[in-house]
Amino acid sequence: MDQAAVEQLVMMGFPVNASRRALFNSANNVEMAMDWLCTHIDDPDYNAEFTPPEPVQSNVPQKPSASDLEGLSDEFKVFKDLISGINCPSQNDKIFKEECIVTCDSCFSEKGLFVCLKTFKSFGYKIIPDYVSKTGNKVFLNIKKSRLTKSPEEEPEAKRLAIGGEDGFKPDVLPWKETQTEEIYVHPDQYFPVESLPIEYVKRVAQAILDSTSAEFKAEVAAWKPDPPKKSIHADNLIQLDNGVKIPSDPSKWKCCKCELTENLWLNLSDGSLLCGRKNWDGSGGNGHALEHFNETKYPLCVKLGTITSEGGDVFSYAEDDMVTDPHLAKHLSEKMTFEAVYLDRNNYRVYRPKAEVKLEYFIPLIIIAAAMLILAIHILIVRIRASYKENETNREGGLPAYWDTIVPPPTEESITERFTVTANPPAYEIAVQDDVLPDHWGIDVASSKKTEMSMAEMELEMNKKVGSEYAAIVESGQELEPLFGAFHTGIKNLGNTCYIGSILQALFALPYFRENFHQPAEYDANCHENFWKQFQRVGHALCSGDYARPIIAKDASGTAIPQGSEQEGISPGLFKSIVSKGHADFQTNQQQDAVEFLLHLLDVIMKEAKKEKRENASANFGFELEERVEIGQSVQYKITHELMLGLPVDENDIENKEQVKEYEQKLEEARAAKQADPEVVRGVVSFKSSFSRLLASEAIDHFKSPIDGALITAYRSARISKFPKYLLIQCRRFTIGENWQPKKLNVSLEMPEELDLEPLRANGPQIGEDVFSEDAPKVDEQKINQLVDMGYPFNAAMKALYHTNESLELAMEWLMSNLDSPDFNEPLKLDKTAKKEEKTFSPEIIAMVTSMGFTDTQSKKALTATDGNVERAIDWIFSHMDELNDESSPAESSSSGPNQLVGSDSSKYRLRAFVSHMGSSTACGHYVAHVKEDARWILFNDNKVAVSQKPPRDLGYLYVYEQI
């Protein structure tokens, strides 16, 4: 374990043992460890003493030495010199085996995928020479997949729409067969079938890679985050029966005890019953025997076999009807249990489960009561114990309590006499404890268990992917669209709710700037799979080159290639998504997201990465200056802000065909009441002119605090563009809040023009005769101003006092008292613009408070300068500007190198190049597609389907991308 990483987390305020546990579970990655610490803070063992477990001994044979390979035939002697560079993967190694980390090649590429047997990184064939020359690693596992057509017997035609049923459409069955071959490739030209290798070590290494979960899929599963399961209320007090049940260690012998199913099996932790899970909507899954067993016995907790590892397993509570966590899973699977008894007489004793918190409760009075009250305290304690035990009394002569009936079967006389030693005539109420040591439960060794089945998160991810493919397969658009392939027509696969990423990338690469700057192939370096620019260029080259814009091909028995529908091979956005969404709470999940929010996040990442590597900022192409004019009584304030997107308001009050919409809604209601087909949809029509007028109009701001005197007034805000962008992003604000305060989508038609002139939106600056309030007014903490105003001090005086005392309330009050007689005491603060701005200084105590978090003096001063000396805000600033901490420039200089570097011209005229549309009730669900203008036609990008659009829905777009002309 990296001790420096432990110290770094401790300096941030995390406990020592928690830090060690977090780093162990995060492979010594500090950032991942911080996420772990924040999400596991409520764990009962969060800061318990932690000792890293001993690594499980691997069953992989020892790597042979060069001398051990002396007897190899000439064909295999090449391995004698290369064996030292062949490593066996461990559980902590990232194994890339689904797509090339430099190109977008996959196992379905012509020559397949090549996994380095030393680093476990995967490459397309074209990258191998460059990789070998830079690293010297020459040995790879070549994984190659191909598709074969199915015969009519293998793929009978669906006769009816009975999803998953007999003669019905089967969504999880591919229309082709997939085959896979594995060979060991030694650069430059030697291939060895894995089965033919005489070196057992190399064969086992290859098999370990094939059996492992890929890094790409691990990232997807980690990103797929439904609500985290809570601890079961039954976990602490679960009773388990000693019935001799043992679970075979061989998974092939697992079978539901009520049917013949051998998959999706759940072990009941109370009685060891092995039962199948619930039946899924499509007929798959199980027969629901685990649920039936719970209804009969009320045994609540089950663990899914095949998911049990030393880290835990998937546990479901039928009593709580939800996935849960069982912190005592290892104990419930293998450790010994202890029961206790209170003996009263030969025919009357009470049996109960050990419960530490109850026992401690009884002894708390002994700690807090004075020694003089000790005798009385013991008497009270005995009375309380008697009352508690009486609730769970088990009498031989009858009357078992309901407590036993709901937890475990009522104990019989035989089982009790076998378990407890009965002594002759003990005094009444004497506490006699006997240990009932049970054997290991169910015979499962948790430490050596390995995962053999998908976890519930993995199954949910796979189900989500199926839903996406089913939607594309079942729903027909009604139009015969001409599919497109080749350069600039590459589709992007949907990995289950990644359509928002694909549609944004297609819109960006419709623009000349991105095509010209990111069309070159990326080159390999050691960190290319973690480098943003490498991955962005990797995607850009794939989209522009057309190398992956090929139809999916399956070969028939004669070897003839037959296209399988209109879908492309396309590219996967998986690696790119993992890089661009790193550290973002929403985008790093596999939930559907708002495409506009993702675009703004992507442009922010581009800006930060460009600054970090001192390269051209691509996001500056979208930046523009917005002049904000606010009328404050008789004065006017002008403020310049830098924006990346223009919001176009959409209002239902502007609908022009309200009568037709009302008539349609009435017909729709009548048709559904009569169970008839829905009438043709009639959408409300909103003209672009009316929405643009709303954009130009002034907006009233109620309860606006005047910067002049602090009074609450109604101000009027309007905005104009002072510098136009090269590429203009317009968000059509179709989403609003309904009357019930729920998100609502305005299903209206708003025809956006193909050519747009924003001259009416051009800023004119301050006008002659306006009383302009200085926009250079200093920024002072408003909350502190209000505190001084509440004490009776005037607004302007409070602002000046705080400004001149570095926002110290105590010093500000002293300043106010010493300046009460000043003639300009309540005059607005005015700064000398010609005076050179003094560098802010901070007391050593304030700097020490920030440096105690592990940051340098320079970094601490930079953060304090950016936040006007506020320590709490400075620490927040540091964590949100980690990439700027080593930059020597000031915060002001840093911000000026961002989107302020505008690249647009003075022209206000634009032409539409692309738009992204959304289908669904909210941005948190539904589907995104992109339309791109190419010469005189529009191209539809719907995941990995690319076709000529017949009727581009320009009136239904959510995001529009215009190019300056």
What is the tens place of the pLDDT at every residue in 146-188?
Answer: 999 987 766 655 444 333 444 444 445 678 899 999 999 999 9
CA distance 552 to 124: 18
CA distance 476 to 807: 64
CA distance 411 to 443: 23
Among 72-76, 638-642, 768-772, 825-829, where is mean pLDDT lowest?
A: 825-829
Task: Please list, in sequence order, all residues whose beta carbon lies within 8 angstroms of the beta carbon of residue 743, skipping any fewer than 6 positions away.
Answer: 735, 736, 737, 922, 924
Q: What is the largest CA-CA distance in the chain?
A: 109
Element (H, E) at 832: none
The tokens describing 771, both together, are: 């009383």
Domain that holds residue 310: 230-336+442-459
Three-class SS of 454-477: CCHHHHHHHHHHHHHHHHHHHCCC
Residue 273, φ and ψ in degrees, nearest 5: -65, 140
Q: Is 222 helix (H, G, I), strand (E, B) or coil?
A: helix
Asked if residue 344 and residue 244 are part of one domain, the reply reads no
Give residue 487's pLDDT band: very low, low, confident or very high (50, 70, 90).
very high
Among 117-126, 422-431, 624-633, 950-959, where is mean pLDDT lowest?
A: 422-431
Give residue 655's pLDDT band: very low, low, confident or very high (50, 70, 90).
very high
Element (H, E) at 663: helix 658-673
Contact indicator for 521, 544 with CB cutoff of 8 Å? no
Element (H, E) at 57: none
Asked if residue 256 and residue 322 are part of one domain, the reply reads yes
Domain end call among 171, 196, 223 = 223
Give residue 772's pLDDT band: very low, low, confident or very high (50, 70, 90).
confident
Give residue 349's pLDDT band: very low, low, confident or very high (50, 70, 90).
very low
CA distance 197 to 191: 11
Kindly state whether residue 657 falls inside one of the protein's structural domains: no
CA distance 407 to 241: 11
Clarify whether 927 is annotated catalytic.
yes
Question: Which pLDDT score, from 0 to 100, does residue 626 have?
Answer: 93
Asked if residue 351 and residue 316 are part of one domain, the reply reads no
Asked if residue 529 and residue 576 are part of one domain, the reply reads yes
Asked if residue 116 and residue 99 are part of one domain, the reply reads yes
Asked if residue 315 and residue 201 are part of one domain, the reply reads no
* Highest mean pLDDT out of 303-317, 746-760, 818-832, 884-898: 746-760
Question: Which pLDDT score, from 0 to 100, does residue 891 have?
Answer: 46
Residue 759, φ and ψ in degrees, nearest 5: -55, -40
Kindly state whether residue 735 falls inside one of the protein's structural domains: yes
Kindly state whether residue 887 falls inside one of the protein's structural domains: yes
Give residue 35's pLDDT band: very low, low, confident or very high (50, 70, 90).
confident
Contact indicator for 598, 587 with CB cutoff of 8 Å? yes
Choice between 403 and 283, residue whose per-residue pLDDT is larger: 283
Instruction: State what percent of residues in the chain have pLDDT above 90.
Output: 36
Question: Which pLDDT score, from 0 to 100, does residue 840 have?
Answer: 63
Q: How many domains does the chain have?
A: 5
Kindly state whether residue 8 falls inside one of the protein's structural domains: yes
The tokens describing 908, both together, are: 């206000």
Kindly state whether residue 431 falls inside one of the protein's structural domains: no
Instruction: Look at the chain and count its residues.
Output: 965
Kindly state whether residue 434 falls inside one of the protein's structural domains: no
Question: Which pLDDT score, from 0 to 100, does residue 432 have?
Answer: 33
Residue 396: pLDDT above 60?
no
Among 177-181, 227-231, 363-367, 819-823, where is mean pLDDT lowest?
A: 363-367
Among 77-86, 270-279, 910-919, 941-950, where is mean pLDDT lowest?
A: 270-279
Q: What is the DSSP letter of 853?
A: T
Q: What is the DSSP letter of 654?
A: G
Element (H, E) at 601: helix 595-613
Asked if residue 600 and residue 505 are part of one domain, the reply reads yes
The tokens describing 241, both together, are: 């029966």
Residue 895: pLDDT above 60?
no
Instruction: State what percent of residues in the chain have pLDDT above 70.
Output: 74
Catalytic position from the list 100, 256, 499, 732: 499
The distance from CA 548 to its chain's CA centroid, rounded to whole angstroms, is: 27
Residue 833: pLDDT above 60?
no
Residue 849: pLDDT above 70?
yes
Give residue 287's pLDDT band: very low, low, confident or very high (50, 70, 90).
confident
Residue 64: pLDDT above 50?
yes
Task: Please list, in sequence order, all residues whose beta carbon lies within 8 angstroms of the beta carbon of residue 596, skipping any fewer than 6 positions away.
Answer: 645, 731, 923, 958, 959
Choice between 583 and 386, residue whose per-residue pLDDT is larger: 583
Asked if residue 137 and residue 211 are part of one domain, the reply reads yes
Kindly state whether residue 402 falls inside one of the protein's structural domains: yes
The tokens describing 797, both together, are: 């005086």
The distance from CA 575 to its chain's CA centroid, rounded to whole angstroms, is: 14
CA angle 210, 211, 216 (to 5 degrees): 75
Asked if residue 204 and residue 242 are part of one domain, the reply reads no
Residue 412: pLDDT above 50?
no
* Highest mean pLDDT out of 281-295, 388-402, 714-728: 714-728
**Which CATH number fits the domain that encloses residue 10?**
1.10.8.10
Task: Please list, in sequence order, all residues whose beta carbon lies within 8 angstroms of the beta carbon of residue 712, skipping any fewer than 6 positions away.
Answer: 703, 704, 705, 706
Mean pLDDT of the chain: 78
Residue 112: pLDDT above 70?
yes
Which ranges of 326-426 does DSSP label H, i.e. alpha helix? 329-333, 356-368, 374-391, 402-407, 413-419
Give residue 761's pLDDT band: very low, low, confident or very high (50, 70, 90).
very high
Kindly state whether residue 79 falls inside one of the protein's structural domains: yes
What is the tens place of the pLDDT at every residue in 501-556?
Answer: 999 999 999 999 999 999 999 999 999 999 999 999 999 999 999 999 999 999 98
What is the tens place of the pLDDT at every residue in 697-712?
Answer: 998 888 887 776 777 8
Residue 263: pLDDT above 70?
yes
Place of tokens 């944004």: 504
Asked if residue 614 and residue 753 are part of one domain, the reply reads yes
Question: Which pLDDT score, from 0 to 100, does residue 886 have?
Answer: 56
Residue 481: pLDDT above 50?
yes
Catalytic position from the list 234, 441, 541, 927: 927
Mean pLDDT computed over 907-930:
89
Residue 281: pLDDT above 50?
no
Choice between 61 and 65, residue whose per-residue pLDDT is larger: 65
CA distance 520 to 590: 29
What is the tens place of the pLDDT at every residue in 442-470?
Answer: 666 555 565 666 665 555 544 444 333 32
Domain end call among 223, 255, 276 = 223
Tell the burial category of 198 from Cβ atoms under 10 Å away from its Cβ (0-12, 13-18, 19+): middle
The tokens describing 943, both together, are: 């995941």
Mean pLDDT computed over 220-225:
50
Clarify whether 499 is annotated catalytic.
yes
Contact indicator for 341, 433 with CB cutoff of 8 Å? yes
CA distance 265 to 293: 13
Question: Which pLDDT score, from 0 to 100, does residue 540 have?
Answer: 96
Asked if residue 407 and residue 261 are part of one domain, the reply reads no
**Which CATH number fits the domain that encloses residue 910?**
3.90.70.10
Per-residue DSSP letters for 369-396? S-GGGHHHHHHHHHHHHHHHHHHTEEET
Q: Which of 253, 248, 245 has its CA nearest to residue 271?
A: 245
Which ranges of 768-843 does DSSP label H, i.e. alpha helix? 782-790, 795-804, 809-818
Question: Which pLDDT score, from 0 to 100, does residue 744 have?
Answer: 75
Asked if residue 118 and residue 11 are part of one domain, the reply reads no
Torsion of CA 773, 775, 776, 779, to 10 degrees: 100
Give residue 591's pLDDT band: very low, low, confident or very high (50, 70, 90).
confident
